[in-house]
Amino acid sequence: MPPFEVPEGDPFGPHNLPYGVFSHAGSQERTVGVRLGDHVLDAGAAARALGSPYASLLARPTLNPLLAAGRTAWSDVRRALTAWVTVPAHQETVAPFLHPLSSVTLHLPFEVADYVDFYASENHARNVGRIFRPDAADSLTPNWKHLPIGYHGRSGTVVVSGTDVVRPSGQRKAPADPAPVFGPSVRLDIEAEVGFVVGVPSEMGSPVALDGFREHVFGLCLLNDWSARDIQAWEYVPLGPFLGKSFATSVSAWITPLDALEEARVAPPERTHPLLPYLDDSGEEPGGYDLRISVAINGHVVSEPPFSTMYWTAAQQLAHMTVNGASLRTGDLYGSGTVSGPEPAQRGSLLELTWNGRDPLELPDGKRAFLEDGDVVTLSAWAPGTAGVRVGLGEVTGRVVSG
């Protein structure tokens, strides 16, 4: 099949065109690539060959220049790329710059500025509440329905899909233990999330309103917020998660532009509590995204979390994150929080899937309460697109190795 033709219904057809950064075998030189089927287009080289002005945004070692360029440029570049891979005259010119995915190395596609992680799934938050505070009158904390709870994570340990994850060591202490012990985590978990990538910065002291979301956010990707539950449980009172999370956060090599996901926009769940004006999205365009996530361990699907069930939208999270005047920078990344649907088979963490280890999963290669060394965790997802053709998100995968 000629390289520009993708199979009917391919979720990475010309309707998608996610962005990444790649290098050729044996080369240190990184450049922006655009995925088409199982190929990657060297977008900078193609732009140069066509004399396109976008070469200055695409012939670069990270996506940051493109991210910073803003929504008009994002749309223009996407329109150009679509033409390059679909119009025969352009195809002929750019064909030499289309490479099989199997022949290239994919890299972290942008320089991460600040990384924030939210906690926006009501199902997830209630499951966690039931597991850790079984006697509480409400499984949600009192603030949960009033603001999207979030915290800052470690941007220096955000890694690209495919990077091995070393099992972290740290302190843990069971309630009955007299003192903490040190060693490799024995409750290593995943959290299936969606990450949002900020392109256009904002000024300190100037909040970004709900309707500023599409001006500031370029796109999204799958994100695995690896979590050491035992380390987290002992450390997190009173200042929140730290070493239980900071050892690694994996993101997909492909950033899907919001423009590819127009058909996937959906209204978020009905709000059960009145919202303060800066978060009230009742008069806004639909802020949710219908992303169908799949979580697999060693190739065996263990969960299918639906992103459309998230209570807080990415636009609300952005408005909240900046309402105190905090500025945005190009490359800021924020995670949605674990995506868990209402059904047991839709939970986005082993903590929930195994009810804190009480009900281990039965996998073809044995039981799993939490992850074992050698386990490979893969998140994948798709969204509804035009005429029933799915829009694929780039997978995020990682193998657990012993420390």
Which residues form the catalytic set?
Answer: 124
Instruction: Find out whether 86 is annotated in a ligand binding site.
Output: no
| C-beta of residue 261 within 8 angstroms of C-beta of residue 286 | no
Instruction: Find out whether 193 is annotated in a ligand binding site.
Output: yes
Tell the smallest beta-carbon distance from residue 111 to its own copies (Å): 10
Question: Near its own copies by CB under 8 A, which window of 58-66, 74-82, 240-248, 253-261?
Answer: 240-248
Q: Output the CA torsion 137→142→147→148 (10° steps).
A: -50
Tell the smallest beta-carbon distance from residue 223 to its own copies (Å): 16
Type of residue at 10: D
Closest CA to 337 of 351, 356, 323, 322: 351
Of residues 328-347, which lie at the interface with its own copies (CB under 8 A)?
A: 328-329, 332
Is 277 a binder of its own copies (CB under 8 A)? yes
Is 374 a binder of its own copies (CB under 8 A)? no
Question: Total residues contacting its own copies (rule CB under 8 A)?
Answer: 62
The structure tokens listed for 73 are 């440029």
Q: Which is nearer to its own copies, 239 or 387 (CB)?
A: 239
The interface mask with its own copies, positions 147-166, x = CB under 8 A, is x-xxxxxxxxx-x------x
Closest CA to 381 of 268, 252, 257, 266: 252
The interface mask with its own copies, positions 79-108, x = CB under 8 A, is ------------------------------
Question: Near its own copies by CB under 8 A, which window of 200-208, 213-221, 302-310, 364-372?
Answer: 200-208
Is 180 a binder of its own copies (CB under 8 A)? yes
Which is it for strands 115-118 and 333-335: parallel, antiparallel or unpaired? parallel
| C-beta of residue 391 within 8 angstroms of C-beta of residue 256 | yes
The structure tokens listed for 348 are 């986005």
Q: Please name the helix (run of DSSP H) or strand (run of DSSP E) that holds residue 57, with its range, or none.
A: helix 55-58
Q: Please name the helix (run of DSSP H) or strand (run of DSSP E) that holds residue 196, with its range, or none.
A: strand 192-198
Of residues 299-328, which lie at the interface with its own copies (CB under 8 A)?
A: 320-321, 323-328
For residue 380, the 8-state DSSP code is: E
Among 11, 18, 199, 241, binds its own copies (CB under 8 A): 241
Closest CA to 121 of 337, 390, 267: 337
Beta strands in 211-291 (DSSP E): 217-224, 227-228, 249-251, 256-257, 265-266, 288-289
Q: For tokens 């979580």, what's the residue? A: 295
Instruction: Find out whether 386 is annotated in a ligand binding site.
Output: no
Question: Near its own copies by CB under 8 A, which window of 72-80, 110-118, 342-350, 354-362?
Answer: 110-118
Instruction: Find out whether 397 is annotated in a ligand binding site.
Output: no
| C-beta of residue 119 within 8 angstroms of C-beta of residue 303 | no
Q: Cite the annotated binding site for substrate by residue number.
A: 119, 133, 232, 236, 338
Q: Cite the annotated binding site for Ca(2+) by residue number.
A: 117, 191, 193, 225
Q: Which residues bind its own copies (CB under 8 A)?
A: 113-114, 116, 119, 141-143, 146-147, 149-157, 159, 166, 168-171, 173, 179-180, 182, 204-205, 207, 228, 231, 234-244, 246-248, 274, 276-278, 320-321, 323-329, 332, 403
